[in-house]
Amino acid sequence: MTSTELAGTGRIISRLAYGCWRIAPDAEFAGTRGRAAVLAAYEAGYTLFDHADIYGNGRAEEIFGKVLRGVGGMRERVLIATKCGVRKAGDPTGNAPHRYDLSREHILRSCEESLRRLGVDQIDLYQLHRPDWLMDPGEIAAAFEELRAAGKVAEFGVSNFTPTQVSTLQRACPMQLRVNQVEISLARQAPFIDGTLEHCLAEKMTPLAWSPLAGGLLAEGANRVLPSQTAYRTTDILRVIDRIGTANGLSRSEIALAWLLRHPAGIVPIIGSVQPDRIWSAVAATQCELAREDWYRILEAARGECLP
């Protein structure tokens, strides 16, 4: 696994991150296959582990914390990222709606709960999961400053924010926001054209790519896609990346990841498979630098039309 720097922090992270969303769909899975997936990622060289307080209703953080305590030296070698701000229906009362909450109180409470579940004293990277229409940048900045001063969080970032939302929050924050985590893949090209990646370049932020293989549609099969991904059309993309993959001795998923890694913004794809063989095989993408010509061949297939 190759490595890169996390957005000017001096912290070195693996070129691919491991996403823990799928490791805890239920208690039985979390205790067996979920633990095996985390261990496979660690052994394969992944050092940035992506979490959120809502993944498995907190079970993902708990199972990761158990692995962390059971593997000597692991805490010193990995960076833990987690997110807050999404509140599901019924939280905290039965009639509460699904909503986003970036109030100071919720940020601080969520951080304490994540620290407890993970079993650590400090979160390396703490992110706002989704923009809250009622968010007050000054209030968020105050919460961040409180967490930093208490030593509970080292670095901060956002997820699913537009460039304008990031800039608005950054103006209020005394600390540099380090990442913006958004959906980026050959099937979801919006960040290439809406200014997200250029903004990350300009502000020296690391773009983290969730669902870089479109829920598996760009890999060897999808078994859990989001509703927004059901309309993705990948037949033409697969035809081209399979051809280029054959020429380079790589699978379609490895070519799809290499395509993201080629971008100068320094995209860090988040691998979410719980199958150890796929977790390991993804690492091969970090050794492949696509030729510019192949990169544009793939882009054309993804666009479904020739460049202007």
Catalytic positions are: 55
In whole angstroms, give the CA distance from residue 14 to residue 266.
Answer: 12
Size of the chain, expressed as the number of residues it contains: 308
User: For the chain, what is the largest distance between any 2 Cα atoms, rounded to a whole number of angstroms?
Assistant: 56
- What's the token pair of residue 50? 């992506």
- The answer to whether 196 touches 162, Cβ cutoff 8 Å, is yes
- In the chain, the amino acid numbered 51 is H
